[in-house]
Amino acid sequence: MRQAGFSRTAIDAAWPSWWDESLGQSPSGRAELRFAIARRLGLRPQPLLGERVEFIWNDEARFKHLTTADAGDKAAITSFGMAVGRVLLQASPTGPDITVIEPEQLRAALLASRPYADLGGLISTCWALGIPVVHLRIFPLEAKRMHAMVVRAKGRFAILLGHSARFHAQLAFTLAHELAHVMLGHLGDAPALVDVEDPATATDRDEQERDADAYALTVLTGSPNPDIQTDLDSFNAPTLANAVRNAGPLYRVDPGTLALCLAHRRRIWPIAISALGMLYPNPEPVWRDVNEIARFQLDWSSLHEDAADYLQGIMGLVDA
């Protein structure tokens, strides 16, 4: 499996807790081990008996912002994500039948109960719609970390986040962008859609990516192309932090989102990130906030103990 491209951490996470070296002395024990690993990594179990790796989902996902990639890498990402997503959906409550929710409608619904359309509101909305959201702490490949991924199984969707953001505002755009892919039907007939790079900074956006960006920005700011202006030609991080802190409540846009929008327009990312540090001086790890919500939303009793252990490991909840 290492030769097939899987990371050591992914293989270790897939290794069942019930395994004991004594079981390896019997053909049935070795076969059960292979079947367990295959289920968790999205592999066909029979070829593993002959020491071969075959992916269930080979080249079926849609990849965004991917310039070059080995076919095996793409298959590993897709199969791993699909396997995780199917377990998530098994343990998550179903929501209403999803029809297209316009971004203006979604923003209005969020603002009805909170001051801003922010990460917490987006996560709550996804779970209410039957779309589980988790932040991966283990990735299938050593060298490549997908930014985010939407998977579909039996007509339902799950969102897997991979971006290790320091601040909620950074991940809010990613989640809104992935939700846009769901609402705009961008998966088509594909089982998954993978954003390899950060949509906020990618330069190779196709039409679907531009539409997803516009949807996300409308949800977060009220405009598909927010015109964030400043009367200063140059400014530092404290000035920016103070400005967005004052402007956010006026426009009902999260101050962190305002800072990032200006950073995108003027290409001042370092200043904006420093400003976020002043707005939120002691941030908790964002992934932990995402996965703590998932911990309480998921019906762990619906999963076999091994599957629950695996999912907790993937989510970094084992020692939490």
List per-residue pLDDT tens for the chain, 320 residues long.
555 567 788 878 887 776 666 655 566 667 777 777 777 777 766 555 555 566 666 666 788 866 555 666 787 888 888 889 999 999 999 988 777 899 999 999 999 999 999 999 999 999 999 999 999 998 887 766 688 999 999 899 999 999 889 999 999 999 999 999 999 999 999 999 998 887 777 766 789 999 999 999 999 999 999 988 777 777 899 999 999 999 999 999 999 999 999 998 888 999 999 999 999 988 889 999 999 999 999 999 999 888 899 899 999 997 64
Has residue 12 been placed in a domain?
Answer: no
Whether the Cβ atoms of residue 143 and residue 155 lie closer than 8 Å to each other = no
Whether the Cβ atoms of residue 4 and residue 53 lie closer than 8 Å to each other = yes
82 & 186 share domain: yes
* Cα 311 from chain centroid (whole Å): 15
Beta-carbon contacts of residue 178 (< 8 Å; ≥ 6 apart): 148, 149, 150, 159, 161, 195, 212
169 & 253 share domain: no
Among 173, 180, 136, CA closest to 157: 180
Can you give the residue range of the structural domain that contains 241? 226-283
Whether the Cβ atoms of residue 213 and residue 179 lie closer than 8 Å to each other = no
pLDDT at residue 65, as a whole number:
67
245 & 149 share domain: no
208 & 255 share domain: no
185 & 289 share domain: yes
Has residue 70 been placed in a domain?
Answer: yes
Has residue 279 been placed in a domain?
Answer: yes
156 & 305 share domain: yes
Q: How many domains does the chain divide into?
A: 2
151 & 161 share domain: yes
pLDDT at residue 197, as a whole number:
80
Has residue 51 been placed in a domain?
Answer: no
pTM of the shown model: 0.90
pLDDT at residue 206, as a whole number:
83
Judged by DSSP in three states, 135 sits in: strand
116 & 203 share domain: yes
CA 168 – CA 150 distance, rounded (Å): 19
Angle subtended by helix axes 168-183 and 286-297, to nearest 10: 50
Judged by DSSP in three states, 198 sits in: coil
